[in-house]
A and B are shown apart, each in its own frame.
Chain A
Amino acid sequence: MTAEKITLGQGLQKRGVSRRSFLKFCGAMTAALALPARYTSRIAEAVETKPRPPLLWLEYQDCAGNTESLLRASQPTVAQLVLDVLSVDYHETIMAPAGHQAEKSLRDTMEKYKGQYIVVVEGSIPTKDDGVYCTIGGRTALDLVKDIGGSAAAVIAAGTCAAYGGLPAAAPDPTGAVGVSKVLSTVPILNLPGCPMNVINLTATVVHYLTFGELPAVDQFGRPLFAYGERIHDHCERRAHYDAGQYAEAWGDEGHRKGWCLYKMGCKGPETYHNCPVVRWNEGTNWPIGAGHGCAGCAEPGFWDSMTPFYRRLPNTPGFGVETSADKVGLGVVAGVTGAFTMHGLVSAMRATGEPLAEHETINKEENTDG
């Protein structure tokens, strides 16, 4: 798996991907990045002509969940290619060499593409006791991430552990686990939290990097706005039930079976920023709330402590208060509707009495003759 200077376009041709599928993919990426449609051709041009950057995938205090997510990109052939053709020179879970040969592969890429390769980090970095809680080839994760990440063009922290410390950093944080940005500050770092991160967002980030030569714009937690700019709650397919005050109150009750809002079952959607409901999982098949389980808030920093217990409902929900929402919103709606009817009534009355004959009366007469 050595990095050759071939472009993604050439890689696609080799794989027999049609022009049509390729442009379709570029269109999907434009949408994922929340860019206007006219950017599709620019993305297509960049992806076709820019040499693919070598990618080093580093695993520290991880469960390989983000690797699983990466491998799930295998079905949409072109999306897979972006990552496949990316030239993944080092990835412990999927690479053929082991031991010294694996290390050699890593060193070769680091030397040959110094300052040009992309590093993806999966898992947190333990800092307690000089970082002894994670070592590879006799070196600590702390030492390795500074060394390898320090000479990268950009570092992508894949998953909540690499971004913010995640599960290992949950109280009492036995190993002093932190995210990449806490130990590395000399290179651009992008956080793609989620447990795991969604591979669509990784693909889109890479496409953005190829197209514009830089990482996408981020929020205060270092997350790209295109994927973490809106709340789960804002795009939830069960939102109408929330607004209507229809909640599942127990697992398997009538509301749960009917697909009502899971807020009272502990759903953290109202406080979680992620594009989960839009991009979904497993080739867009479904997502947690669609499958009947509340959102766990996995894209938020420190969610293992701040969002637990997972089955306890959120104390306060942004927007209107849920406890009183059904009644209040209901009354508000009734008042609004009454107002609208009243206005309509007044206008109709004025029209009815005015000269010349109001339009609706003509229509009414026609209706009457039909009847």
Chain B
Amino acid sequence: MAKIAIDPITRIEGHLRIEAQVDGGEVTEAWSSATMWRGIEQILIGRDPRDAWYFTQRI
């Protein structure tokens, strides 16, 4: 029984970490984590709604 972690996951847009519990060559449990946070929801609060597309386009 071993736990493996793949970080960074490449060839994707964004940051991702995958951890998996491997038991006899089979994954029995797995966890994913997004390892980057910017708080765009908080940044949008109080702004002109017409600007929202420009901000969220950068997600």
Contacts and interface: CB of A to CB of B under 8 A. Distances in A.
Interface of A: 59-61, 63-65, 67, 92-99, 102, 126, 133-138, 167-168, 170-175, 177, 195, 296, 304, 308-312
B36 A134 contact: yes
Given A64-B14, A92-B10, A309-B47, A174 B36 contact: no
Nearest to A101: B10
Nearest to A135: B35
17 contacts: A63-B59, A67-B13, A93-B10, A96-B10, A97-B10, A98-B8, A102-B8, A135-B15, A136-B7, A136-B35, A137-B7, A137-B8, A168-B39, A175-B37, A195-B58, A308-B47, A310-B54
B13 A61 contact: no
B48 A309 contact: yes
A198 B48 CA distance: 27
B39 A59 contact: no
Main secondary structure of the interface of A (DSSP, over half): loop
Given A134-B35, A136-B8, 12 more contacts: A92-B11, A93-B12, A97-B10, A102-B10, A135-B15, A170-B43, A172-B42, A174-B38, A309-B51, A310-B51, A311-B48, A312-B48
Contacts of A135: 15, 17, 35-36
B37 A136 contact: no
B55 A167 contact: yes
A311 B13 contact: no
Contact of A98 (B6, B14, B51): B6
Given A296-B54, A310-B51, A310-B54, A99 B8 contact: yes
Interface in B30-51: 35-40, 42-43, 47-48, 50-51
A195 B38 CA distance: 16
Contacts of A99: 5-9
Interface of B: 5-15, 17, 35-40, 42-43, 47-48, 50-51, 54-55, 58-59
A171 B43 contact: yes
A175 B35 contact: no
A309 B13 contact: no
Given A309-B50, A309-B51, A134 B10 contact: no
Residue of B8, B38, B40, B55 with most chain A CB atoms under a 10 A cut-off: B38
A67 B11 CA distance: 11
A133 B7 contact: no
Contacts of B35: 134-136
A94 B10 CA distance: 7
Contacts of B38: 61, 133, 167-168, 174-175, 177
A60 B35 CA distance: 10
B55 A98 contact: no
B7 A93 contact: no
A92 B36 contact: no
A136 to B, nearest CB: 5
